[in-house]
Amino acid sequence: MILPPGKKIYFSSDNHLGAPTREASLPREKRFVQWLDIAQKDAAAIFLLGDLFDFWFEYKTVVPKGFVRVLGKLAEITDQGIPVYFFVGNHDLWMRDYFETELNIPIYREPEAFTFNNKKFLIGHGDGKGPGDKGYKRMKKVFVHPLSKWLYRWVHPDWGVRLAQHLSVKNKLISGEEDQQFLGEEKEWLAQYAKRKLETQHYDYFVFGHRHLPLEIKLTEGSMYYNLGDWITHFTYGVFDGTNFQLKTFTL
């Protein structure tokens, strides 16, 4: 894709709407919608890199209650012809086709390569990538197995959503959360994942979420790794103007 003059590409991740309660996350949802209002004015595309919700499970005819402000805004944006891309995170990994059929938003379950203005991006949520985190990697295999999802659909939504929200908040193993402190580039496992990818394919930018920590790491002379942070404590996002990528903080 070649960006039209004056257009930009926006990136966001880890809103965790619904956590710790819907009431507590409502101001964050409104703030995020304000950001979407601004991005909508000059966006060539918007990338949402997962964990938009703290829990999301799609039954055949039921989706979790709430989040109408952000869902309505996303529908408005795609109706205007602005593409939105969604990467499934570890808190919304049970997403099916609701975003695709209702909002015209394609979903991705693994990192995907995109090229903008001849700059190559590898984009994804980031959970379960790189060395370590073996406990979560084992749990994820169980959760994404078709049998697990089929069995869970037999749980009444009132009970299923409540149980999942409890586990999402209380159990870090299931959440796949890491210590939200930067302990050095050599211990930043997504940066290590990016370096391994560079051994076989060049990318100008690696853009991920999941860590809840805004990060900018130079991998080589021509390659950068960025983590987008979150919309809980940092309110950070990424923007590519056709030439440069920047991490920014959204202030009201």
Could you give the 3-state DSSP secondary structure of residue 220? strand
**pLDDT, averaged across the chain:** 87
Sign of the torsion formed by the C-alpha atoms of 156, 161, 167 and 173: positive
Instruction: Find out whether 148 and 140 touch, Cβ atoms under 8 Å.
Output: no
pLDDT digits (tens, 9 = 90+) for 146-173: 776 667 677 777 776 676 666 666 554 3
26-52 average pLDDT score: 97
Total Cβ atoms within 10 A of residue 56: 24
Q: Any residues with CB less than 8 A from the CB of 101 and at least 6 apart, and which?
A: none
What pTM, to 2 d.p., does this model score? 0.88
pLDDT at 98 over 90: yes
Residue 102: closest CA among 131, 61, 143: 61
Which residue reads 């950068």 in tokens?
A: 224
pLDDT of residue 214: 96
- Minimum mean pLDDT range among 3-17, 51-65, 117-131, 177-191: 177-191
d(CA 98, CA 95): 7
pLDDT of residue 52: 95
pLDDT of residue 175: 43
pLDDT digits (tens, 9 = 90+) for 54-78: 888 787 888 888 899 999 999 999 9
pLDDT of residue 129: 86
**Distances, alpha carbon 237 to alpha carbons 48, 191, 212, in Å:** 10, 18, 11
pLDDT of residue 176: 43
